[in-house]
Structure 1
Amino acid sequence: MQSSAPKATLRIHIRISLQSLAMFLLKAWRSTAFGAYGYLNFTKSGFLEHSKNFNPEDMARRIDGKNCVVTGANSGIGYATAHGLASRGATVYMVCRNKGRGEDAVSKIQSSTNNQNVHLEVCDLSSVHDIKSFTSRFKEKDIPVHVLVNNAGVLENTRVTTSEGYEMNFAVNVLGTYSMTELMLPLLEKSQPDARVITVASGGMYTAPLTTDLQFTSGEFSGVEQYARNKRVQVALTEKWAEKYGDKGIGFYVMHPGWAATPGVATSLPSFSKSLEGKLRTSEEGADTVIWLALQPKEKLVSGGFYFDRAEVPKHLPLGATKSSHAAIDSIVDTLNSFM
């Protein structure tokens, strides 16, 4: 009688907490909902569809004599914004990190708009020291600032630390934006009641709740997730500024440009750019709502509001569980103030 070979039994025990499972499913839902919503609305076809409801007269207004400061202005949406404002008569101060690229951009805008009141200001938005130096110099002009556009942004996929010790995405997108806005307030107050601050966020913020882990110290670093977190902070900061400075005659607005084919996107998200080749918006289409916000009478706008394609839109996806997280903004502001 032949004996049978012994059978080996392999048992794998997987233990996962309900909390971890719920978080996994929530993140998956946010990502899926964002992807579907974005594909329908954030692409070029979405812009063309939404533009059917645009009022051409909204963009016909001239703003001669108004002083506009645009950060990250030498390319992409920042360049398109500076060009759009200059073409309507504004005096534009283009804040750029690279002097050579900035000079080229200024020259092109002066030539194409016939507006010589376009100027370069060199400043590295990743450095609080540099921002303080720039705003101190700029205040010596003693001019009112009618529009501040916080456009400068970065998406570093790997962890990079600035010379001041901050994670790079956070340093530019959050701390840089916060420092620039707070330090420019005295000049914005000079132009009230027409002063406004417009911050360029991203639809990616729909995938992230507000978190006090500003420099992504917990868990494996993800540049894409950090960028989304940063943009969520910008939305919550805009709410806070509107509440805090509502009596100073300054309007605070945040917008997102949709998915645009900019040099920054091509560099930071090459796979995304390639997969949607031909479907992304132009820089001009991405900048359209920034310019619209700069031109509209303030009584038509909601300070603290989040805008997309010339309309106020929700700040949270349905069932995204991000709304209550905005309660953390006071703690975040305290942290940002300590870094300044």
Structure 2
Amino acid sequence: MAELARLLKESWSLVDEQQDRMAAYFYARMFTIDPKLRDMFPVAMDVQRSRLLGAIVTAIQTLEDPERFAEYLGSLGRDHRKFSVQPEHYETVGRSLIDALRAYGADQWSLEYDQAWRDAYDVIARVMITGAAEDRGPAYWYAQVLTHERRGLDTAVFTCRPIEPLPYRAGQYVSIECGYRPKAWRAYSMANAPRDDQTMEFHVKALGAGWVSGALVRRLRPGDMIRLAAPMGSMTLDRGSDRDIVLVAGGTGLAPLKAIIDDLATTNRTRWVQLFYGARTRDDLYDLPALARLAEHHPWLTLIPTVSHDPAYPGETGLLSDALDRHGPWQNHDFYISGSPAMVSATRHALTRLQVPSSRIRHDAFGRD
């Protein structure tokens, strides 16, 4: 397995700087082989292409960790039920992927690389197909929007209730599709632990001309119906640990960490929790009043708001990684990180510098628009 992982990483380096073009080639090749597959996808494919690449990179990174590899790909297989993916589609996908890799690997591509990807894809497809086949839940859940609150120009918090119970764990996420953007699914984390009344809270920031996020912030209304795919993600509470906890949230990355706090509220008696909540300006700390109430209600929770582009802010300023440097020590804490890919990467680097073992750091990486 180690040799296979080496060949995959080595060959991926040949196409790494051409990811966007390679992904476009992959989808064009797939739709040429089987034109009917085009109907499964939205008109705008930019985010879909980036999600493909993210899934490939994650699969490569987890290959040498069998448990994580199986969990991730099994979840991915269950998630793909929302597209009505059938086992026979995996052959077309695999053929198209290897054709794209071969095309962009060009003269440096070798038969050894080709075989490594065939072997790896066979395992990936088998685990995903098994994950989908073993899932006894629906392919997706319909949910009705109950409340929708704008928090500034580009952020909204909304709640919904699935028509049928949707089991999940605090810290996980689901893909959401709304009627304003058919066939376009984007991943968002639940901001609460499972509740008896089945309600779920989501935090969404409209990113530029975001295809789905813009619709969820600006057009979604109470009474609307949305669809939720199977829950995914492994950034859940480690109940076997008795270490104190540090939560590091950037922007709407707050949502899954707020769910973890919600989860701890019913069981925690001994673990101190510090929440570093970062944004560009004080106005971007959209959920600060609710968090302040939580900190007041739970003595074990300490809130540390941080802004990066507001020098006059009376509290912590700079990047979240800077704020972590000013606190600590952190060697005996569990960390949960959620935010943009850049923020997660910077925080992980800071924690490595501060000698926090990687085994105590949890985060999920998924794309939003």
Global fold match (TM > 0.5): no
Structure number having the greater strand percentage: 2
TM-score by length of 2: 0.32
Higher Cα Rg, which structure: 1
Structure number having the greater helix percentage: 1
Bigger relative CO (Cα 8 Å, ≥ 6 apart): 1
